[in-house]
Chains A and B, each alone.
Chain A
């Protein structure tokens, strides 16, 4: 029997509220399939299941708030049969007997749902453990009666959400500053070559396929990390684990305030056009509140890019358990001395905030130099 537990979707998540099940008992679940929608302090997230099996029981109820690690559902592995019903005295937590005959059980949420739907629970066949009536049973009966809207719980109101998000950010950032000995290095990077290449590239592309400078910056970071693996991974339980795949957490500011940094998965292996498409999609879904759990939990480093409306430089706070954060300020035309001459060039200030438990300033500086060098050969970023 596989126990599907509420995953941690980031350092700032301690608990979540189940908004919706996307599966029902008996459904076959494939690896990576979205099986539930969970509301966190930051966003409603489509939660994926990374094990294959057949849904046996949906343990968590719609609207239930639960800590990370709570068993939400059980799945049968291939070839596995459901265990026979246990002795009647084995009453499950959260379940209450229905009537006195037959020891049928139903959760308070399923009972309430049945009342709302006008479904007579005494006429239902329970498919949960010990014949318990589940929400899915109620839905099935309601559907058969011709009324079956999806079972969902409302997400928190916007004002509450903003407060919750601010608390979550505060908790994660306070933990970061408490636990991670940050060091910072910065580098001014001339972008004349990169922007000239981008301009020529965009001139021959249709509007929908044009690239933003951010795509080049992200790809340069992703490729540079391949040579500096000590910046890409997690610090957990006293030691660092490097991750081969580069999943760039991209800090996205929300229009209503707050910040989410979902992951651009496998950014090192994607050509610029695809990276740009995925970035556009990721930003749109972040702002629309439609992220997947892997995007919330698998970033191996974060990049914050202030873009063309920001300040000249930014030195960020590392998002634990990651060990580094790269910041880019606004691209500004500046005087640039080179080979005894002076010219005016577009320049961006890149910064690195990194964890001194894992790397040192010397390596951090070399990493930023690598990013700068890659941006002088923009055509090589498109691989």
Chain B
């Protein structure tokens, strides 16, 4: 799976939780939770949504590595063997 496809899945997952977001306005290199109002339950659901769609297990110990959308995409890319 190429990074653009992973990003598209991640943004679709995010939009299912925060429908108000404008994907074009999201900066990939900025902390996601500074750009989108996500509480801890939303964040858990976001990661769970990625887990379900991409069949990638994300240990809780790795949550701290996932700060920006770019982090999420590269992390998932590595997990998917890309």
Find chain B residues with CB under 8 A from A214 CB: 40-41
- Knowing A207-B48, A207-B51, say if A199 contacts B37 (CB, 8 Å): no
Q: Considering the complex, give the chain B residue whose CB is closest to the CB of A283.
A: B41
A124 at the interface (CB under 8 A from B): no
- Knowing A203-B60, A203-B61, say if A255 contacts B47 (CB, 8 Å): no
Q: Considering the complex, give the chain B residue whose CB is closest to the CB of A214.
A: B40
Residue total for A at the interface (Cβ-Cβ under 8 A)? 19
- Judge whether A199 and B60 touch: CB under 8 Å: yes
Find chain A residues with CB under 8 A from B19 CB: 255
Find chain A residues with CB under 8 A from B33 CB: 309
- Judge whether B41 and A210 touch: CB under 8 Å: no
Find chain B residues with CB under 8 A from A207 CB: 47-48, 51, 57-58
- Knowing A212-B44, A255-B18, A255-B20, say if A307 contacts B51 (CB, 8 Å): no
- Judge whether A309 and B39 touch: CB under 8 Å: yes
Q: Considering the complex, give the chain B residue whose CB is closest to the CB of A213.
A: B40
How near does chain B come to A311, taking the closest CB pair, in angstroms? 13
A277 at the interface (CB under 8 A from B): no
B59 at the interface (CB under 8 A from A): yes
Find chain B residues with CB under 8 A from A273 CB: none
CA distance A207 to B20 in the complex (A): 26
A64 at the interface (CB under 8 A from B): no
A339-381 toward B: CB 8 Å interface, digit per residue (1/0)?
A: 0000000000000000000000000000000000000000000
- Judge whether A212 and B37 touch: CB under 8 Å: no
A280 at the interface (CB under 8 A from B): yes
A83 at the interface (CB under 8 A from B): no
A201-214 toward B: CB 8 Å interface, digit per residue (1/0)?
A: 01100111010111
Within A241-264, the residues touching B (CB, 8 Å) are 253, 255
A255's partner among B37, B41, B58 (CB-CB below 8 A) is: B37
How near does chain A come to B63, taking the closest CB pair, in angstroms? 10
CA distance A212 to B43 in the complex (A): 11
Find chain A residues with CB under 8 A from B51 CB: 207-208
A308 at the interface (CB under 8 A from B): yes
CA distance A129 to B25 in the complex (A): 59
A304-343 toward B: CB 8 Å interface, digit per residue (1/0)?
A: 0001110000000000000000000000000000000000
Given A255-B37, A280-B41, 10 additional A-B pairs, CB 8 A: A199-B61, A207-B47, A212-B40, A214-B41, A255-B18, A255-B19, A308-B39, A308-B40, A309-B37, A309-B38
| Sample (23) of A-B pairs whose CB atoms are under 8 Å apart | A199-B60, A199-B61, A203-B59, A203-B60, A206-B57, A207-B48, A208-B48, A208-B51, A210-B44, A210-B60, A212-B40, A214-B41, A255-B18, A255-B20, A255-B37, A279-B41, A280-B45, A283-B41, A284-B45, A307-B40, A308-B39, A309-B38, A309-B39
Q: Which B residues are closer than 8 A to A by beta carbons? A: 18-20, 33, 37-41, 44-45, 47-48, 51, 57-61
